[in-house]
Amino acid sequence: MSATEEKFSLREVLVSFKSCLVDDDQDVLVEHYLNGWRGLVRFMNSLGTIFSFVSKDAVNKIQIMENYLKGESGERYRTLQSMVEYELSSNLVDLTKRGSHPDSGCRTILRLHRALRWLQLFLDKLRTSSEDSKTSTLCAEAYNASLANYHPWIIRKTATVAFLALPVRNTFFEVMNVGTAEDVVDMLGEAMPYVSNVYDFTQELYSQHNLLDLP
């Protein structure tokens, strides 16, 4: 195991979302947001290949954003505010139907943003659950209350089957690499607010600009 692998802990990933918010919590740095996502993907991959269809999609979306950041308008993609302003004012967003801008930054971030809601619900259920609760049930409940509403039947079906392969609560906690079950519960209570702050900011920004239903 390499040094970086050894150090891997879900605490660091969740806390990394803290550095996303800048300008008195009035903006989110895209590069840091993507870093948080890279950590989540790594965590998901450590759960086994059964989730590779999920992480592939997340990696794709991270890559789309990376390309914008590296592109000639990269500076406009530095924060979520500047991205939204730039793409909307330059007509770079398909607002009602996917057409000439199928992979806008706005719709790509929206997909990740919705997944962050699932993560919030799921980790909160895990945090408050009893030792004998089933992770697959908690995961499915969180999914049905969030992402599932945006997914077609075939993806909902595949996701629901994949959930059954989730490890039991204790093993799941071990993979997080933060210590005892009690440590995990404490860590989640302490670190999830960072994710929530980023989620709330994005939700507000997207709602102000009517971007919450981008195709």
Please report, as ranges, the residues that interact with ligand 1PZ according to CB under 6 A: 40, 43-44, 47, 51, 53-54, 57-58, 111, 114-115, 118-119, 143, 147, 155, 159
Least distance in angstroms from the C-beta of 105 to ligand 1PZ? 13
CB nearer ligand 1PZ, residue 143 or residue 173:
143
Residue (47 or 69) nearer to ligand 1PZ, CB: 47
**Residues recorded for the chain:** 215
Give 2's DSSP letter: -
Shortest Cβ 172–ligand 1PZ spacing (Å): 8
CB of 212 to ligand 1PZ, least distance (A): 14
Torsion angle (degrees, nearest 10) of CA 9, 148, 126, 191: 50
- Both structure tokens of 101: 């801008």
| C-alpha distance from residue 29 to each of 106, 118, 195 (Å) | 14, 21, 13
Element holding 191 (H helix, E strand) = helix 181-208
Tokens representing 190? 């302490």
Nearest CA-CA partner of 208 in 121, 106, 98? 106
CB of 23 to ligand 1PZ, least distance (A): 27
Q: Which is nearer to ligand 1PZ, 26 or 149 (CB)?
A: 149
Closer of 22 and 151 to ligand 1PZ (Cβ) = 151
